[in-house]
């Protein structure tokens, strides 16, 4: 049997909670910052980004995140970012990824919605040809921008409807951004066939998750770690098989939890709540999806078989077509059998 780090590195995976801009590598962020030097606080030196990405709290994270969004100025920037994110995921043996994209943030900065969607779609197709990775989109509302952002995000989703779009989400700060106000927009997105995958219960309590379920029709929950404080909610999630997209290092880096020793992942799993392991904004948090699988293995005391089961859970929770899910599950099983031999 290969060692666990090597096993994780080669394991075929699906990534369900990773942000488009938040996945920009230091090299790409620095390149974009150099293009716009003098007009952005973001350092053009990759080494300096380590300090720049040291977050005091979630509010500071959002501030820094938006400064990186400001670097995406045109269609070429969008294509480059998307293609490079796919390259980095493919290097980690990610076969399928649902990338959370916030079109509103780019459209309001001057990139027309059709041009934005054309760029991500062209990069998606190129990435599949170049790296063998399948990308799909979750268009999410930046909650801090309120209902105008919700209306515009829905309009772009329904009017442009890029081929890769599968879901509708809600990101940004949770504190001071009640979930129920977004119900009409999620209702329309769901009526149009998009899946509901809002963030909830990361920096707020279980009631935010209940709101996402009751008002937004959530099929999966982004983060959702505060469910561990509510036994009734954990029972509901377990019984209904509603998956939490858990991102352990992210929760520490944004100060949602104090440290990994206090992370509630094991309590959620022990309660039967289905979870997937994800990287969120990996370069900003100094992590990778492979690193997150290693963290989960430590927290849950897993060997290769348990880690492979986590990878399979992500496939099961994905919005891939059933035949494609089965192909990826078969690949995971084959990899495990070979590694065990």
Torsion sign (Cα): 42, 46, 47, 51? positive
pLDDT of residue 251: 96
Of 215, 237, 218, give the one whose Cα is nearest residue 227. 237
pLDDT of residue 321: 95
CB 82 within 8 A of CB 124: yes
Active site residue 202: yes
> 4-340 in CATH: which number?
3.20.20.140
Q: DSSP string of 145-165?
A: GHHHHHHHHHHHHHHH--TTE
Percentage of the chain modeled with pLDDT above 90 = 80
- Per domain, the residue ranges of the chain are 4-340
Residues near 113 by beta carbon (within 8 Å), at least 6 away in sequence: 103, 107, 156, 159, 160
Confidence of residue 38 (pLDDT cuts 50, 70, 90): low
Percentage of the chain modeled with pLDDT above 70 = 99
pLDDT (tens digit per residue) in 116-165: 999 999 999 999 999 999 999 999 999 999 999 999 999 999 999 999 99
Active-site pick, 15, 202, 219, 312 = 202
Return the biggest CA–CA distance within the chain.
56
CB 188 within 8 A of CB 160: no
Torsion sign (Cα): 333, 334, 339, 341? positive
Average pLDDT over every residue of 106-113: 94
Window from 6-10, 63-67, 132-136 with minimum mean pLDDT: 63-67
- How is residue 220 written in tokens? 């999966």
């Amino acid at each position: 049997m290969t060692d666990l780090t090597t096993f994780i590195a080669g394991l075929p995976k699906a990534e369900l909670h990773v942000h488009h801009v938040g996945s920009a590598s230091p090299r790409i962020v620095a390149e974009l910052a150099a293009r716009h030097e003098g007009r952005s606080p973001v350092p053009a030196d990759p080494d300096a980004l380590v300090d720049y990405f040291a977050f005091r709290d979630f509010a500071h994270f959002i501030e820094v995140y938006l400064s990186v969004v400001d670097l995406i100025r045109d269609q070429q920037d969008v294509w480059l970012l998307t293609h490079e994110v796919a390259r980095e995921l493919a290097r980690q043996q990610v076969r399928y990824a649902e990338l959370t994209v916030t079109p509103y943030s780019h459209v309001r900065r001057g990139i027309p919605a059709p041009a934005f969607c054309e760029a991500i779609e062209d990069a998606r197709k190129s990435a599949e040809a170049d790296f063998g990775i399948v990308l799909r989109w979750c268009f999410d509302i930046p909650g801090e921008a309120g209902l105008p952002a919700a209306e515009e995000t829905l309009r772009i989703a329904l009017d442009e409807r890029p081929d890769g779009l599968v879901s509708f989400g809600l990101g940004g700060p949770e504190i001071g951004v009640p979930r129920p106000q977004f119900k009409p927009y999620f209702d329309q997105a769901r009526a149009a066939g998009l899946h509901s995958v809002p963030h909830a219960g990361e920096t707020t309590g279980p009631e935010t998750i209940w709101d996402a379920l009751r008002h937004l029709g959530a099929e999966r929950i982004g983060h959702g770690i505060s469910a561990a404080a509510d036994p009734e909610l954990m029972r509901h999630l377990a019984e209904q098989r509603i998956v939490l997209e858990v991102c352990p290092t992210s929760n520490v880096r944004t100060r949602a939890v104090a440290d990994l020793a206090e992370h509630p992942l094991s309590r959620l799993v022990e309660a039967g709540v289905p979870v997937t392991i994800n990287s969120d904004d990996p370069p900003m948090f100094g992590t990778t999806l492979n690193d997150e699988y290693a963290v989960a293995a430590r927290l849950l005391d897993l060997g290769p078989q348990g880690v492979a089961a986590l990878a399979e859970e992500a496939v099961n929770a994905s919005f891939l077509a059933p035949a494609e899910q089965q192909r990826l599950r078969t690949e995971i099983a084959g990899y495990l059998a070979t590694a065990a031999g």
